[in-house]
Structure 1
Amino acid sequence: DHDAYQEISQNTKQLVIDYLACGIEPGEDVIIYPHSYVPEANQLMIPFLTLVTSAELERNPTVKEEIQSGLENGKMKTVNAGMLTYPVHQACDILFCKGNVVPVGKDQLPHIELTRTIARRFNEKFCRDAEPVFPLPDALLSKTPSILGLDGSQKMSKSRGNAVMLSATEDETAKLIRKAKTDGERHISYDPVTRPEVANLLMLISLCTNEAPEAIAERIGDGGAGMLKSTLTEALNEELRPVRARRAELEKDPAYIQSVLLEGSRRARDIAAQTLSEVRAAMNMVI
């Protein structure tokens, strides 16, 4: 987002701290890197863009939703080409390392389908008499592939201001949850169809406690929204307490965070350079 460019570096480092605090550690099979530090992956954009039509980009439902949300909340005044081509950027991130399984939320499924389309079209066009360069990646969904934000109307997202951040304190978390949207019915029941806001909060509790949302609803019963929100606050703060403690320690070591990003960038570039060489060979662009 060029309008928030002054925060890009800090936001990147904060996200890495989140990953590390949650246990996603760099290792033989784990690389953490910033997209902009892998130019070889970005070079895949040009051939990939020739494999999709403008109509396919314009009707991507996730992109359309993001554009509508940005225009409505005033964060976006015009729709730039970067927004429309974002799914192709994502395809570059997936295919440069020949990813075959991608953990995503339900809203990202159109992006994965476009990535599969790009991989298939590249292989069909440039690898007719050779081994395909790219796999066709599959999406990996969790048991909760879509989580509503605390406002109850859209997916949970930092940019939409309806999320609980790992960096939030326990008091800040409690304050955010108190503002969460429910409905006018006092008795708590789990009904994702007719009571999506209440069901969403119940599911969040379930994710923290491993108790079925139906059982949580039955236990709260006539306790109403107040009891529902206090139960979620307690469960979420309990679940995130060790993560936040680890996060606080990591924030004291900016040199380590920088080393993770720089080493990850070096390793990612090695992989991307090899893939780019294969792409050039397949397209008969080797000199």
Structure 2
Amino acid sequence: MALPVRTNMRHVLVFIQKFNSPKRLLCAGARLENKETPRGGRVFSGIQPTGVPHLGNYLGALENWVTVQNQYPSVLYSIVDLHSITQPQDPEQLRSNILDMAASLLACGIDPERAILFQQSQVSEHTELSWILGCLTSMPRLRHLPQWKMKSKLKNEGSVGLYMYPILQAADILLYKSTLVPVGEDQVQHLELAQDLARIFNNRYGDLFPEPRALLSSTRKVKSLRDPSAKMSKSDTRAMATIAITDSPDDIALKIRRAITDFTSEVTFDPEMRLGVSNLVTIHAAMAMISVEEAVSQSRGLDTGAYKKLVTEAVVQRLTPIREEIERLRSDPVHLEGVLARGTLRARELAAPVLREVRQRVGFC
């Protein structure tokens, strides 16, 4: 096994900036090869650097990402830090969160040799394509997207960035001529915007972008341990509601022990009537890699209190090696920076010729 190359990210980015001067990168003189979408499809997905992922992130997205990287010939995973600043961010904390997310993705099984792992803000083509696509998008179209409705109501008045971030999300996808996007059900409408913009651009300027399709995960959504009617979330202020993938075995045991269930001691799976118990069954089945039916079968003869211990064992067994690997990777930030820098170079090799073609078709050069 080859040792990882230790590269200072800042040094690599200086090289990127020198190599990618406007004349060489953006117009006809660029020397980068235009790599077409490979047979079998190109996959793109992104995750915000908002702290260490929780159990819902792992089961709802990251576990699927690891599977996907082994199924498709071209896969890109981006730490989408441009999206994260739609909410106020402390600069030093954001820098730390980006490396923490890189460590988390690697520890969960993302292989930078199989998938391109990179930091979104270091590939400036994302923002330029976002502006061009924004000029093809109507304001009513954005106002109807669910996350704008929800988040702007919570804040009474959302930022322009929050309003326009679905366009940046579409640019993230189309920039690489992605054909498949792993998404949750709550993101399907935003993917539909990317599909619409691909059609609008193609109709106006000629065929360039394939229309991306959703790659839905089969994993059920993990609910809050304190409110099983809501999904598990990093923004939940209740300490007992969310299991982080870096939680200690004792913390995991405490949180599951205090998870909301009901007054029936028997364990059954009924997501409509027994939300809390069904959430524990979902977690148990997913972490033990068994069916829901098998999880319920293993609970026979146990009351919910004893069953919680079984769930705890499954969660601890899966998360312990991930937690230990995250701790190891966090101790070597230079390595993490190098992984992201090399991913940036590979991402720009794909993004630059696509943006060059967009600029030519629009009439910029």
Structure 1 counterpart SS, 2:221: coil
In structure 1, what is the Cα distance between the partners aligned to 2:268 and 2:152? 34
Counterpart residue identity of residue 14, structure 1:
D
In structure 1, what is the Cα distance between the partners aligned to 2:228 and 2:142? 28
Counterpart residue identity of residue 255, structure 1:
V
In structure 1, what is the Cα distance between the partners aligned to 2:305 and 2:143? 43
User: Does residue 203 of structure 2 align to residue 143 of structure 1?
Assistant: no
Structure 2 counterpart SS, 1:146: coil
The runs of at least 4 aligned residues of structure 1 exceeding 6 Å deviation read: none
User: Does residue 100 of structure 2 align to residue 14 of structure 1?
Assistant: yes
Deviations 1:154-178 (A, max 9, x none): 2222233543222222222222223
Compared CA separation, residues 89 and 260, structure 1 to 2 (3 A): same
Compared CA separation, residues 140 and 193, structure 1 to 2 (3 A): same
TM superposition shift of 1:236: 0.6
Contact 1:100 1:136 in 2 (8 A): yes
Compared CA separation, residues 109 and 163, structure 1 to 2 (3 A): farther
In structure 2, what is the Cα distance between the partners aligned to 1:198 and 1:54? 43
Counterpart residue identity of residue 283, structure 2:
L
- Of 196-205 and 157-166, more deviation after overlay is shown by 157-166
What residue is the counterpart of 1:255 in the other structure?
A: 334
In structure 1, what is the Cα distance between the partners aligned to 2:127 and 2:97? 21
User: Does residue 156 of structure 2 align to residue 156 of structure 1?
Assistant: no
User: Does residue 150 of structure 2 align to residue 65 of structure 1?
Assistant: yes
In structure 2, what is the Cα distance between the partners aligned to 1:12 and 1:48? 27
What residue is the counterpart of 1:278 in the other structure?
A: 357
TM superposition shift of 1:278: 1.0
Structure 2 counterpart SS, 1:243: helix
Deviations 1:128-151 (A, max 9, x none): xxxx21111111112125332323
TM-score by length of 1: 0.88
TM superposition shift of 1:77: 5.9
| Aligned partner (choices 217, 220, 232) of residue 311 of structure 2 | 232
Contact 1:104 1:145 in 2 (8 A): no
1:188-227 equivalences under 5 Å are 188-221=267-300, 223-227=302-306
TM superposition shift of 1:222: 6.3
Aligned CA RMSD, in angstroms, stands at: 2.0
TM superposition shift of 1:221: 4.6
Deviations 1:26-63 (A, max 9, x none): 12x52111111111111111121122222221221244
Identity of counterpart residues, as a percentage?
33
What residue is the counterpart of 2:203 in the other structure?
A: 124
Counterpart residue identity of residue 205, structure 1:
H
What residue is the counterpart of 2:127 in the other structure?
A: 42
Compared CA separation, residues 152 and 264, structure 1 to 2 (3 A): same
- Of 43-52 and 221-230, more deviation after overlay is shown by 221-230
Compared CA separation, residues 174 and 265, structure 1 to 2 (3 A): same
* Stretches of structure 1 lacking an aligned partner (at least 5 in a row): none
What residue is the counterpart of 1:31 in the other structure?
A: 116
Going by fraction, where is strand more abundant, 1 or 2?
A: 2
In structure 2, what is the Cα distance between the partners aligned to 1:168 and 1:191? 28
In structure 2, what is the Cα distance between the partners aligned to 1:230 and 1:183? 16
Structure 1 counterpart SS, 2:299: helix
1:101-116 equivalences under 5 Å are 101-116=180-195
Contact 1:148 1:200 in 2 (8 A): yes
Structure 1 counterpart SS, 2:364: coil
Deviations 1:226-259 (A, max 9, x none): 2232222110110122222222221221110011
TM-score by length of 2: 0.70
Number of aligned residue pairs: give it: 275
Deviations 1:9-38 (A, max 9, x none): 1111111101100111212x5211111111
Going by fraction, where is helix more abundant, 1 or 2?
A: 1
* Stretches of structure 2 lacking an aligned partner (at least 5 in a row): 1-84
Counterpart residue identity of residue 165, structure 1:
A
